[in-house]
Structure 1
Amino acid sequence: MKKDKPKYKQIIDAAVVVIAENGYHHAQVSKIAKQAGVADGTIYLYFKNKEDILISLFEEKMGQFVRSIRSRMAGKENAVEQLEVLIESHFYMLSEDYHLAIVTQLELRQSNKDIRLKINEVLKEYLLLVDEILHNGVKKQIFSEELDIRLARQMVFGTIDEVVTTWVINEQKYDITKLAPEIHSLLVKALSK
């Protein structure tokens, strides 16, 4: 499988840097190859085109993201604690990878409709994680039993996402991880009985 090969990850990591620094539309495959330290043709052994690189990059990074959050949530049965882990992890992981934050918050949103549909497919795994936390909170009577899960998911994801986007637009001039407790508190109040 191509994803198991070392150059695959090398190319993905290079693509994050090149897309963040040049924007998706100006991120040439040759620049990605140079950043990855591979020949231009090597890229095409792993990816069909630049669009495929962007989708694969998001699949790879979002998969790591969700696995990391699930791992950090292990043993936390309380939905309030799970939500706290989700928010803290989301902010921490993007604060640790400046280029990835730019790509996820800005570059993925400027794409064409086909790319957006594929991105939304990849995002489902993250949104299912949010749903699990919300269902758990309702089931354990921590969150309101009248909670509309779909709407609550949009509120949770939308809040986290907007905070990160604002931080990226402001050139990451402050420590986003310090906002996690307040965001968590606001969301818990909104979701609770």
Structure 2
Amino acid sequence: MKSNRPKYHQIIDAAVRVIAENGYHGSQVSKIAKAAGVADGTIYLYFKNKEDILVTVFQEKMGQFIERTIDEINNRKTAIDKLATLIEMHIKQLSSNHHLAIVTQLELRQSNYDLRIQINQVLKPYLTVIDNIIKEGMEEGGFREDLKVPLVRQMIFGTVDEMVTNWVMKECKYDLIGEIPLISELILNGICQKE
């Protein structure tokens, strides 16, 4: 399987760096190959074209991102704790990898329609995790009963996503991790059951 090969991972990691530093349109396959320390032709053993590299980067990195988030969430007992953990994990994981944050928050969004459709498919499992936490919280009685799951999911994802995007746009010049408690508090205050 290609994902077990070291060169495949070298190319993925190099692509994240090159795309973050040069933008998607300024990232020729030859630049990615050079950064990965492989011949140009080696890239085509693993990927059809540059677009395929970008989608695969997102699939690989988002897959790891979702896996880590689920692992942490599974250690929490209540939906409130799970949601606070998801918010924290989302922000911490992207703020710890500046290049990946640039690629996910800026470069992927400038891509063409077909590419965005593929990217949305990769995001679906993550959005399902958020949906499940919301439903669990409503069943437990920790979240309000009248919540519309798709609306709340958009609110949660939209908030954390915009926080990371803004941090990237401001060249990461402030402490995003320090904002996590307030972000969590504001989101949870909107959806938690009032005593």
Q: TM-score, normalised by structure 2?
A: 0.97
In structure 1, the residue matched to 2:55 is: 55
CA distance in 2, matches of 1:64, 1:75: 17
In structure 1, the residue matched to 2:183 is: 183
Taking the TM superposition and a 5 Å limit, the aligned residue runs for 1:33-52 are 33-52=33-52
Q: Alpha-carbon deviation of 1:80?
A: 1.1
Amino acid of the structure 2 residue aligned with 1:156? I
Structure 1 portions without partners, runs of 5+: none
In structure 1, the residue matched to 2:22 is: 22
Q: Alpha-carbon deviation of 1:71?
A: 1.1
More off after superposition, 71-80 vs 46-55: 71-80
Question: Can you list the C-alpha shifts for 1:53-104, whole angstroms capped at 9, x where unaligned?
Answer: 0000000000000010111112212111111111111111111111000000
In structure 1, the residue matched to 2:78 is: 78
CA distance in 2, matches of 1:122, 1:74: 21
In structure 2, the residue matched to 1:139 is: 139
CA distance in 1, matches of 2:192, 2:88: 19
Q: Alpha-carbon deviation of 1:192?
A: 1.7
Structure 1 vs Structure 2: percent identity of aligned residues?
Answer: 57
Question: Can you list the C-alpha shifts for 1:150-186, whole angstroms capped at 9, x where unaligned?
Answer: 0000000000001110000000001111111101001
Q: Alpha-carbon deviation of 1:4?
A: 1.6
Amino acid of the structure 2 residue aligned with 1:149? V
Amino acid of the structure 2 residue aligned with 1:108? L
CA distance in 2, matches of 1:125, 1:7: 27
CA distance in 1, matches of 2:40, 2:58: 21
Number of residue pairs aligned between Structure 1 and Structure 2: 193
Question: Can you list the C-alpha shifts for 1:118-165, whole angstroms capped at 9, x where unaligned?
Answer: 000000011111111111111101111111000000000000001110
Q: TM-score, normalised by structure 1?
A: 0.98
CA RMSD of aligned residues (A): 0.7
In structure 1, the residue matched to 2:192 is: 192
User: Which portions of structure 1, spanning 4 or more consecutive aligned residues, are displaced by more than 4 angstroms?
Assistant: none
Aligned partner of residue 116 in structure 2, secondary structure = helix
CA distance in 2, matches of 1:42, 1:136: 46
The 8 Å contact of residues 95 and 164 in structure 2, kept in 1 or not, is answered as: no
Aligned partner of residue 25 in structure 2, secondary structure = helix
